[in-house]
Structure formats: C-alpha cells, structure tokens
Amino acid sequence: MISFGSDMTLRWACRAGDYVFWARFQGKLSCLGNEYKVFDIWELRDGYSVTIANRRSDLPDWFGLHPLEVSGPLAEWMKNRLDEGYDLQEQI
C-alpha cells in the first residue's frame, strides 16, 4: 500500500495481474481508521504504466481535467480556466 501525500508524483511500470485500488479512509480520524471506501479498481497488464500525480506540471500535455476532479491548489487554477471559457467535457 502506498499512501499518496500532497505535492507527489508516482510512476511505475506494470505487470500482468497488478491492480490499482483507489480508496479513501473514512471517519473523523481518517489517518488512524481502518475503514475505507473503494472508489475504483483497475486491472493492469504487461506494458502498461501508471502515473498518479497531484502536481499539474507532472500531468501530460494531452491530459484534461474535469472541474469535479480537482481540489486544493488546482481548484483556483480550474476556476481561472472556467472564467476564461474552458469548454467542459464529459468526465472520464
């Protein structure tokens, strides 16, 4: 298990049978709790690679964020994009 903190980018090569679980701990003391909610699961294959980033500068040029996918420092950046006429696309 890898805990993903702020200002972090993680990249790794995948092998057949690897899985990525997107989960968030629940409760008032979420960092100490053992209950969590799984939001998504991906099965990976040989040749796949995974990049998980919360730094905009580490996202590929082709990657587009939906306004519902940002929080923290990126929220202000997204607000500015929307104010400038950013065309909302379907969330993937």
Numbers of helices and strands, H then E, in the chain: 1, 4
Q: Are 49 and 67 part of one and the same domain?
A: no
pTM (predicted TM-score): 0.53
Structural domain boundaries, residue 32: 1-54
Q: Are 48 and 84 part of one and the same domain?
A: no
Q: Are 32 and 70 part of one and the same domain?
A: no
Q: Are 38 and 71 part of one and the same domain?
A: no
List, for residues 60-77, the tens digit of each pLDDT value.
Answer: 777 777 888 888 878 888
Confidence (pLDDT) at 16: 94
Structural domain count, the chain = 2
Confidence (pLDDT) at 1: 66
Between CA 16 and CA 18, with CA 17 as vertex, the angle to 5 degrees is: 95
